[in-house]
Structure 1
Amino acid sequence: MPPHDASDTLTTPSRWPLAAVAAIVILAWVSLSWPWLSGMVTIPWDAKAHFQPQLQFLAEAWHSGRSPFWTPYVFAGSPQIADPQSLIFSPPFALIAALEPVPGFRLGDGAVLGTLLAGALAFVVIFRDRGWHPTGAVVAALAFAFGAAAAWRIQHIGQVLSLGYFAITLALIARALERGSIGYGFAAGLVAGFMVLGRDQVALLGVYVLAGLVIAAIAMAPRPWQALKTSLLPLLAGAVGALLVATVPILLTAVLAEGSNRPAIDLIGAGKGSLHPAALLTGLFANLYGAAGPLENFWGAPSPAFEARFGPQDLYLARNMSQLYLGLIPMGLILTIGVVRGALLRREIVALSVAALLVLIFALGRFTPGFRLLFELPGISFYRRPADALFILGALLALLGGYLTHLVMTDAAPRAKPWQRVVEAAIFTGALGLALWLAWTVGRLSVAAVPLVTALLCGVLAMGGLVAARGLALRGSGLAAAIVLAATLTVDLSVNNGPSESTALPAQDYDVLRADSTNETIALLKSETAATAGPDRRDRIELAGIGFHWPNASLVHRLDNTLGYNPLRLGIYSKATGAGDHVALPDQRTFSPLMPGYRSLLADMLGLRFIATGVPVEQIDKALKPGDLTLIARTPDAYVYENPRALPRVLLVTKAETADFDAILATGQWPSGFDPRRTVLLDRALPPLPRDPLATGRPAGTAAPAGANPPGQSPAGSVRIADYGTTEVTLRVEAPQGGYVVLNDVWHPWWQVEIDGAPAEILRANVLFRAVAVPPGRSTVRFVFKPFRGLFQDLGKRLRAARAHG
């Protein structure tokens, strides 16, 4: 941050009441967080549908001695180690998973709220280091933790964590620059590394804002060249810290992304996630558009009610994504003292003001011409919602509001000229008039009335709190003033940004995501898959159209699911099966040419045995005919069907053919006469089968007995599952004539295979699965997921290819 002006300093940092201010912030945090911390409500939507199952899987894997780097429980297998939302590299969640084998909802909620508290306390440190008034620190801290997107989008766990790391990094890097400290620089780099590991747009924008503030701090120093030289070692230490934390995970994700379902997003596509200018009114009127209540009450852009009056907006935003409310104290001071009276242009704060303006322009997206330029920055095209910038914008505005509070409390704020008072009054009356006009025009005046009246009452409270706190501060009672503003802002934020349908729902709504849940559907699927398990069988299930939080329940209950909920998936799997982000509604279960429905060869090859749907399955797969699936139960949540044609998880075949997998994926047509129980399709020249078992030191196997073959056996021999883990699958094979072992698990280049402990060549089989050629006789086949080795091999190939073309 730029150097501060000593004339605006209250006292020296050594005399600043750090412990007392931190205690005030913590008490206010407890008060505002209590609905979640007490268990009365829990953070809903993505926090439960996606992140709670990820946390449970991580904890269960570690406590059972398994690796969490790959999961078989969603999308028929997924590389968790490269998934930015798997929580493996999230310190608070990883710590919870390490300590608690069955983490409950309150632990997950506490980790999110605790990260916001850590960021709030980092803001306190920033104010302490500058000697700014304690009341400003309290305002900044509470507005940061419970304002704007931090409050309204708390269910987006990854972005909230990135926001918390952003605040901590800002405090550490400010100390590193001001003190020329290598230690603080290294610490800032470590925390920034964890921020980057969020691999979300908040982290990306945070990096750009931090880089800009560093450049501004050096350029605005009294002696820029000297400041640059002093900053080099701390910045270098920070770079080292960030690289140590983030390099390998980022590379893993980058490689995964290339083969994923997530393409780059163009300017038009990104523009659909823009913040509508009308949303800026939520900076003063928190719930103006009814975002906190039932969905049918919401009338802001891009709701049907808003578009019916103003035409199609071509926006793709949820109702909670356009909320800017920080509390009337910080926002009121920003508009009056900051903007109208020009205090935001002061040298010590102007860099933050410019950063906030640029982030606001970015958030408004296609509604400003500046977004086209900002969109050209590296990495921006990977993300789809400019409105996500409200996370960083909220943090910056919180700092600015706290700084302006400091000016008021120290009697350093510029006095208003008569014309400025007129402009200030016009801003608030104009905003109120515009809000009333919009509500009347859209026909939702009854919905807007309560938020507007609430805002007026909170405005009176805010002004009263400011007057009382200023009087105390000017009499030397700084801590008393801080307590007054903390209480004022706590009431304001609890009323306007408190629990809502977007941020807090009863915990019992998510009972199916508890490891000890007695849900009838889950219990049935567990018992059925256990009953059909065999030496060669590990049947899969599918959860479709039951509810938003259901798809990832398989991660909690260790059920092998063909679907799941994740915006990032293996591209080949999505193309082969039609799997989308989630299947909350029946019409969200889409199919593909290769899997046109549940009555398809690919569904059988996946071993999809049991299908649970929220509606009769014919409403999802309209091509089904009577008898294709068997209804085995009707539970309170779902219709449960059985697919009797599901194939075993492992097969032993003696015949192999080459095939064009791309053509099969595009047309959905398998080669004529293809039977996966007898033949394996490979995407390249066939590897030779070992013929002499003595050449490898393996004893020759014996032929299978004549007559009916037991499970796992065929005339070619037998294969059975000896151990099935997350990142290791061990098979026992008896192949008198040799052959190919096919494991109907999703193929990925980081999987490798061994035969009797010796490396072998893993083959991509039947478009989507894994196989290996085995020699005659008995052998032990072990498939192992080795992501780090696979990553470095992949990078080596790329380097060699680059040199060859260089």
Structure 2
Amino acid sequence: MRHAGLLFLLCWFVLAWPWLSGHVTIPYDAKAHFLPQVQFFAHALWQGESPFWTPFVFSGHPQVADPQSLIFSPPFALLALFDPAPGLWSADVTTLITIAAGGLALVIWARDQGWETGAAIFTALAFCFGAAMSWRIQHIGQVVSLSMLAITFMLLSRALSRGSWLCGLAAGITASFMVLERDQVALISVYFLTGYVVWHWFSAGVHHSGRRISSSLPPLIAGSIAGTVLVAIPILLTWLLAQMSNRPEIDFIGAGRGSLHPALMVTWLGPDLFGASGDMEDYWGPPSFVWHDTGLYIAQNMGVLYIGAVSFWLMLAGLFSGSLWHREIRFYTIAMLIMLIYALGWYTPVFRLMHMWLPGIDLFRRPADAVFLIGFLTAILAGHGANRLLRSATAPFSRDAWLSAGVVITLGFAYAAYLATHFHQWHEALEPFVISVAFILCAAAVIALVRWLQPIRPHLAAALLVAFAVLDLGFQNGHGGAVGLPPSTYEVLAHGSVNETMVDLKRRVQSGQTATQRDRVELIGLGFHWPNASLTYGLENTLGYNPVRLALYSAATGAGDTSGMHERKFSPLMPSYASPLANLLGLRYIASGVPLEKIDPSVTPGAFPLVARTVDGYIYENPKALPRVLFATRVQQADFDKLLSCGGMPDINYRNTVLLEGPTTPSLPSNATGSAAIREYHNSEIVIDTTSSDGGWLILNDVWHPWWFVEIDGKPAPMLRSNVLFRAVAVPAGTHSVRFNFRPLRGAIEQLTHGSWGPGFQPVGCAPSR
């Protein structure tokens, strides 16, 4: 066992070296979304701040409930705990070590099954560097989920086979680590593990099922209790966030657009047949500019299934020989077929039934995420074939099985050639086509050589099989922009970066900060990896990059998933940067990759002076941005739902007048005065001092959220929703200390107790303009 683990780690080190050496870095979401999250997390911990709320994206966001904030991800929580400023390299190393842990778990599991050492290593390598684990490595949460699945699976297997409650307890804990990622891979992994338990109970026959059930109950109960305790609160908070978010559920069409196109099955033969490793404009698989009539919306590297040429040969031979239907492996074959059907989404009628009846499925938008589980299961199936290859004294598969596998492979390449011809893409497809054919032919030769060596030099046969897998996966799955880009690509997010644009914005914001003023910025059209850079630099940004946002904020501002220049959609309430809502947000600086009028054609010349021109873009100033805290002595009633639907915020002086819903208290005398000043401003606690002659309303232009609570001089007070989007509290005359606290658990309990799901928004009809 020890030797198998060490040999696996040596192979892992070789395959991971491009990232470990810093030559390349994991690209796309790993940097654009996840790295800033863990940087914010680490900075908050080391500054003694709470990471549960961040003011740095979407004008404020509940990180504690966000499934992609990494707060509850054990590998990245450890990184944040030990590294105050995680950079590109440390984040990559954390990801790769997590993958290695999953691979080691599979080595242990395979050895527990009595598999040969070479087969165990072969399985783990296919898992760690095959299919989505390689090609979707940038989606850190799902990578962690799959790694935790492998560890949980190993522990659960031991718990069930040995009746060990300690293994069951450990499995429950690691399963909770998987579930805490709160993504679709975690959800379908739970279904897989549930199916595995049921299969264990009944696979030995009816007469033995009772004994198996009774012996498995102690470990299952121990694991269930431990897992439930660890996940209950985070899952509850995430569920409540979903109810308040822009996507409380995903309808069938929305989910179906993330289906795996059947043509992508040819990527089992070669990962780059459609150009998935290249630029978007060169990719020609479904969907793409070439293959544009699919209705799908998935990334170009989403559907790569390649786990190695030898692996595919062995999986097909096992399928046609019937060995994959033997009792010890049958469950994984069936599970893989189910996962494939699930991933195909709307291309089969089954997914509609799953979407309708399986709990949790309608919370996610991409059934193609099941490619992670497909990679996991095909690695096991290929490993089973490798074990037969390395162990059997006679031919492990029949000649007919090998011939059938060859026919399927030939037909697959013929279909790929037809597609390249049909779409006139041979200029892109020829090189990867030839390379894939070469690897398939070499794999056949390696299998033949391994069979010849196995009886006389079994260790050499195993070494040859593993060595070819390392070469194959390293060359086919380890290159290209989909899995690694130069670290300089993400210089703005690197530790110690002195990016001109961000440094200039930071200086301007800090120099303008006063007891009332905290200016916000907007990063728009600067590049894919820029929106969440505000988390890295501690700049309070009106936008960000996240598929999950507060529904109220999205409706009010038009904020979308990300903030490319074409993604900046304004709203009825904020139809332009020149609007009362933008001013109330305190949006002082707009950093844009293009001249501002290309993003907001309605801006008038001179309304937003250009204050800086950097190598990245333009920085404009909004001179009408309002302070963060205001003191109102006048109140005006408003229908917030109508304003959100129709726009038209009243033309009033927002420095001394506040919009409130429902019955309002009469305004104070015309000569009433008041002031407010920020004494402390932290992520989850804000203290403001107020002084007034007749009382009034303190307005804090931070996003209203039901998990924020307010106290006046230590006594609870009702927190009001003001000016559609913000927080306010009525304060009496005199001098007072007002404290806002973010208390998610208390807020969640009150929501559940009162049956409230946060600030509602019911679209209303708008009268036509006259």
TM class by shorter chain equals over 0.9
Deviation per CA, 1:701-726, whole angstroms, max 9, x where unpaired? Answer: xxxxxxxxxxxxx9612211111110
* Among candidates 723, 747, 768, match of residue 790 of structure 1: 747
Q: What residue is the counterpart of 2:531 in the other structure?
A: 551
Q: Match for 1:606 among 580, 585, 595?
A: 585
Aligned residue for 1:159, secondary structure, equals helix
* Residue matched to 1:283: 268
Instruction: Quickly say closer, same or farther: Cα 1:509–1:418, change in 2 above 3 A.
Output: closer
Task: Spell out the pairing of 1:673-684 with structure 2 (5 A cutoff).
Answer: 673-684=651-662
Contact 2:516/2:678 (<8 A) preserved: yes
**Secondary structure class of the residue paired with 1:319:** coil
2:422 partner amino acid: T
2:633/2:674 contact within 8 Å kept = no
CA distance in 1, matches of 2:454, 2:3: 15
| Partner residue, 1:661 | 640
Are the aligned partners of 2:184 and 2:369 in contact in 1 as well (CA < 8 Å)?
yes
Secondary structure of the residue that 1:749 maps to in structure 2? coil
Identify the match of residue 128 of structure 2 among 145, 161, 164. 145
User: Hey, what's the Cα distance between the residues in 1 that align with 2:665 and 2:7?
Assistant: 70
What is the 5 A alignment of 1:42-441? 42-222=25-205, 223-307=208-292, 312-336=293-317, 338-376=318-356, 377-411=358-392, 416-417=397-398, 419-441=400-422
Deviation (angstroms), 1:355: 0.3
> Which amino acid in structure 1 is aligned with residue 499 of structure 2?
N
Q: 1:97-144 CA distances to partner (integer Å, 9 max, x unpaired)? A: 111111111111111111111111111111111111112111110000
- Counterpart amino acid of 1:592? S
Q: Any unmatched runs of 5+ in structure 2?
A: 758-770
Structure 2 equivalent of residue 737 of structure 1: 694
Q: CA deviation at 1:414?
A: 6.4
Query: For the residues of structure 2 that align with 1:256 and 1:360, how far apart are their CA atoms?
Result: 30
Asked if structure 2 preserves the Cα contact closer than 8 Å seen for 1:576 and 1:592, the reply is: yes
Shift of 1:221: 2.3
> Secondary structure at the residue paired with 1:596?
coil
Contact persistence 2:635–2:665 (CA under 8 A): no
Instruction: Give the letter for the 1:738 counterpart.
Output: G
Question: 8 Å contact 1:24–1:483 — kept in the other structure?
Answer: no
Count matched residues.
Answer: 753
Superposed counterparts of 1:404-483, under 5 Å: 404-411=385-392, 416-417=397-398, 419-475=400-456, 477-478=458-459, 480-483=460-463
**Cα drift, residue 625 of structure 1:** 1.0
* Aligned residues of 1:328 and 1:459 also touching (Cα < 8 A): yes
Q: 2:553 aligns with which of 534, 559, 573?
A: 573
Q: What is the deviation of 1:332?
A: 0.8
SS in 2 for 1:320: coil
- Deviation of 1:799 (Å): 10
Return the match for 2:733 from 776, 782, 793: 776
Distance in 1, Cα, partners of 2:398 & 2:61:
63
Q: In 2 relative to 1, CA 370–717 (structure 1 residues): closer, same or farther, beyond 3 Å?
A: closer
In the TM superposition, residue 421 of structure 1 has moved relative to its aligned partner by 4.5
Cα separation, 1, equivalents of 2:665 and 2:390? 79
Give the corresponding residue for 2:615. 636
2:454 and 2:220 map into 1 onto residues whose CA distance is 38
Gaps of 5+ in 1: 1-17, 692-713, 801-806
Residue 297 of structure 1 and its aligned partner are, at CA, apart by 2.3
Looking at structure 1, the residues matched to 465 and 4 of structure 2 have their Cα atoms a distance apart, in angstroms, of 12
User: Which residue in 1 is equivalent to 2:500?
Assistant: 520
1: CA distance between counterparts of 2:756 and 2:286? 48
SS in 2 for 1:510: helix
- Sequence identity percentage: 48
Deviates more, 1:510-519 or 1:394-403: 510-519
Task: Please say if residues 40 and 507 of structure 1, whose CA atoms lie closer than 8 Å, have aligned partners that are also in contact.
Answer: yes
Partner of 2:709, secondary structure, is strand
Whether the aligned pair in 1 keeps the contact of 2:637 and 2:663 (CA below 8 Å) is yes
1:497 paired with 2:470, answer: no
SS of equivalent to 1:404? helix
Pick the aligned partner of 1:486 from 466, 477, 485. 466
Q: Which residue of 1 aligns with 2:628?
A: 649
Q: 1:733 to 1:448 in 2, by over 3 A?
A: same
- Residue identity opposite 2:337 in structure 1: L
Give the SS at the match of 1:236: helix
Q: Deviations over 1:547-601 (max 9, x none)?
A: 01111111011111100011111110000000000012x1110100000010000
Letter of the structure 1 residue corresponding to residue 10 of structure 2: L
1:277-303 deviations in Å (ceiling 9; x for gaps)? 111111011211111123232111112
Q: 1:785 to 1:688 in 2, by over 3 A?
A: farther
TM-score computed with the length of structure 2 as normaliser: 0.95
* Alpha-carbon distance in 2 for matches of 1:607, 1:668: 19
| Distance in 2 of aligned mates of 1:483 and 1:686 | 79
The one-letter code matched in structure 2 to 1:23 is: L
- CA offset digits 1:358-381 (Å, max 9, x no partner): 000111112222222222311111
Per the alignment, in what secondary structure is the counterpart of residue 704 of structure 2?
coil
SS of equivalent to 1:610? strand
Which amino acid in structure 2 is aligned with residue 771 of structure 1? Answer: A
